[in-house]
Amino acid sequence: MRRLKKLIRSLLPLAILAVLIFGLVTIWRHFDKEPTGSLPAAQKTAKAATPPPPSFNKKLYPIDNPNSIWTVVNKARPLPKNFVPAQLVAPAVPLRLNSSASEMQVSRVMDLPLQNLFAAAKAAGFSLMLNSGYRSYTFQNQLFNYYVKQSGQAAAEQSSARPGYSEHQTGLAADVGLSNSQCQIQQCFGDTPAGKWLTANAYSYGFIIRYTHAKQAITGYEYEPWHIRYIGGILAKEMHDLAIETLEEFFGLPPAPDYQ
């Protein structure tokens, strides 16, 4: 028994020393760790080497082909006189005229996006109506001549396109408004809650307000808050993110305030 006690007394300093060493090692390991949230060196290197996102491909769709959703039509860029979109349909949205009227048709490619836009507007409390979609060369000729007789050539050319120069002939443009006809085809539509909603949200469904308030010197047309143009979701979002309002500016095209 005495020998055991003597052995314990002799080993006690060693046990205390072992505990101290273990504690010091534990503390050193704790402070040797990287701060919380930092990455290992290999991961830091990999993160730094990550290439930037690819630039937007402006050549994804042609701007000179009237069948392209990115086609640019303005006073300097006419359509072929006899151009007719390949597929025209009457969208399942409220229409100003009977669905059999050609003016109530749009290109098939924008049919579903237009329905989605109208449905979103409805959910936001606005009942929209399609006032005018596709217009043939002949129809646009009649409409333009009417405006000339009403207001004169110069005034007509600020609010209506000559035949062959209208976006409506592509089937990718639409004049929209409220079902109750408030401010129908009038600039005051842009001041209505529905008009403000359309301006703020059209891009989410692949549309832009084609003729904005401050860009008449570029587009050649006065402010038309009711005139939307389908360009597809990726381009609409890119233009929105960059705060670019016109197709001419985005694609680096010259302004077209007048016919050439």
pLDDT digits over 58-75, tens only? 999 999 999 999 999 999
pLDDT class of 54 with cuts at 50, 70, 90: confident
User: What's this model's pTM, rounded to 2 decimal places?
Assistant: 0.80
Residue 252 pLDDT > 80, yes or no?
Answer: yes
Helix, strand, coil percent values for the chain (each to nearest 5): 45, 10, 40
Percent of the chain having pLDDT more than 70?
Answer: 80
**Residue 209: per-residue pLDDT:** 98
**Residue 260: per-residue pLDDT:** 81
Write down the catalytic residue from 224, 238, 248, 249.
224
**Residue 81: per-residue pLDDT:** 83
Higher pLDDT, 117 or 4: 117
**Average model confidence (pLDDT) across the chain:** 88
Higher pLDDT, 119 or 21: 119
Examine the residue annotation and report whether 224 is marked as an active-site residue of this protein. Answer: yes
DSSP E strands in the chain: the ranges are 88-89, 106-107, 128-132, 173-178, 207-211, 224-230
Higher pLDDT, 43 or 163: 163
